[in-house]
Structure 1
């Protein structure tokens, strides 16, 4: 774990509401998938190249937008429980670091307000809700606000049961905050029982990919992929990208670690679409491993939240910049000077 990530984690643990801390850090049931996520990256070993000019190392990435780094901020919900400025602070920090931002549709700040803080491209994570008009309205708003891609979360037909209390939500949260984006698209009658309309629709299938593309005109990345054969199905159905993720270990416990399945997904997809990954990434070594295994971008969730709790927008900028700086240093040590070389140099020992 990068020392700065550890520092922010420890500061966050001491300064955030215990219920929210448990919501962020815990996984599903016994937490097997959460426990395995970090160590899975450490199973790989590098075969570095030497006697190559690495005086200049370029970490710039182009994936549904141009970024200074391939290390992005993954979509996570309810940032105003972590910091008073919520997703606005997260977006400000990510933009200052020049990294990809994927905004959660469960944001506690309005889409338009967050987008105004981003100096560059950004993506929207979206669920297909039971009331399709809610999803469609949010997608159209995100397009108008400048989103460059949609990320369809496909691994959450139902919310994993983590300390469910009363209404079935994982933490107690006022609807005015939780529904700051979705609520305006509900009728007064629907708002009497809003989650019956804005929870994920468990009946969606491959048609959701084309539907989202049709109403937005944007590329659709499918998130939550853990099988190589699934990845090809999604590409055939129109997916513009594949996101290897097990939802931070927060859905189906004992699901395979993303580090273990990434090579098979990349091999199956080939050059058809970019593959991105998250899950247990805590330092530049993990990022370099993922890139060497074929990922086009690598996203972090909990480290960004920890930094947000500890130091707001400045914390997010600081931790994302530190991870990029470490990646740049490690690329030089591995004998590669840009991301294309990382993916083609055969850095992973077999």
Structure 2
């Protein structure tokens, strides 16, 4: 990435390198994109309130999540069809993350087989967590087989996306005429027959197969791995998930790509954290692109963050090396922010670092 210093530079380079339809798919959101912009503006609206002259000897960013140590509280968010961005697809982005100690949440809609992605990273020293995300298909035999493959390949947790039973109205990509090109596919799903459409039924009948809490309970037992739910925004849903015995929650609104005008994740996160009182690990995504955003998320109750678009922009701009550089920059920014706020360790981060007068 020549002359790419910050995220705006990286985004500009990604846009210059991608065909307009692919750029619209990658960067766009649902409908009028209020939620897309709202995620970003909510982090920006939070002001840090640093403490000075604090002892910083021995400072680090290590933490524990689901029983394993993280070098840094960063994971790549699940994102489909990454061969649209680079020929190595998800294998290249996962390896870039592993070199920086960041975790990976591999999309079930990966364009590279999950076994191939795992082969690239599972033995990498110092890598972060390796998790597999999926959408329930309505066919429990298929879903169980896919989870079994993930477990056998070395994935350490299952992430169920619960906020997208149907796709949002993505007008920007429709205007650009985006289509998945020949030769690129969601390799685990695209050979399955399309669900039957029922004219006159809600969303063409697609919601007939929408997952429910009963499906969460089934998957919890079937997975053989810790189960996290991605897409929770309400405290009552968070409490119900806890009662079902899930291992953690990812506070997410799908990056503003499904339901427009939905609550920003920076607003939902502290409400859920208060409701659960530290009884479940919380992660968050949506609009994270600076180390100060990561620090604010930790202050609001997150154990770690998922990085989506800003990481994908880097991957599109310059491949695995550029993505590794972007993750290193994000980690460096977090370390700088920690030091400047007077925190030697992540467990010292709390809401006292945020200006409550706002």
2:256 pairs, out of 238, 245, 249, with 249
Aligned to 1:262: 269
Aligned to 2:53: 51
Matched, 1:42 2:44: yes
Aligned to 1:26: 28
Separation in 2 of the partners of 1:157 and 1:238? Answer: 22
Cα displacement (A) at 1:194: 4.0
Query: What is the RMSD of the two structures over their aligned residues, measured on CA atoms?
Result: 2.2
- What are the equivalent positions in structure 2 for 1:162-173 lying under 5 Å apart? 162-163=170-171, 171-173=178-180
8 Å Cα contact 1:209-1:238 kept in structure 2:
no
Cα displacement (A) at 1:182: 3.0
Aligned to 1:137: 145
- What are the equivalent positions in structure 2 for 1:120-159 lying under 5 Å apart? 120=127, 121-159=129-167
Change (3 A) 1:279 1:156: same
| Farther-moved stretch of structure 1 (210-219 vs 293-302) | 210-219
Q: Per the alignment, in what secondary structure is the counterpart of residue 76 of structure 1?
A: coil
Aligned to 2:203: none
1:233-262 Cα offsets, whole Å, 9 max, x none, are 111112111111110000110001001111
Aligned to 2:73: 70
Cα displacement (A) at 1:296: 0.3
Q: How many residues align?
A: 337
8 Å Cα contact 2:29-2:172 kept in structure 1:
no
Q: Normalization by structure 1: what TM-score?
A: 0.90
Aligned to 2:85: 82
1:173-209 Cα offsets, whole Å, 9 max, x none, are 25763231235xx6xxxx4x34559x88743211222
1:136-156 Cα offsets, whole Å, 9 max, x none, are 211111100111111110000
Separation in 2 of the partners of 1:246 and 1:12? Answer: 24
Change (3 A) 1:61 1:105: same
Q: Normalization by structure 2: what TM-score?
A: 0.88
8 Å Cα contact 1:32-1:254 kept in structure 2:
yes
Separation in 2 of the partners of 1:253 and 1:68? Answer: 35
Aligned to 2:313: 306
Change (3 A) 1:258 1:165: closer
Runs of 4 or more consecutive aligned structure 1 residues displaced over 6 Å after TM superposition: none
Separation in 1 of the partners of 2:173 and 2:299? Answer: 42
Separation in 2 of the partners of 1:215 and 1:176? Answer: 33
Separation in 2 of the partners of 1:43 and 1:164? Answer: 26
Matched, 1:115 2:143: no
Separation in 2 of the partners of 1:233 and 1:295? Answer: 19
Separation in 1 of the partners of 2:170 and 2:48? Answer: 37
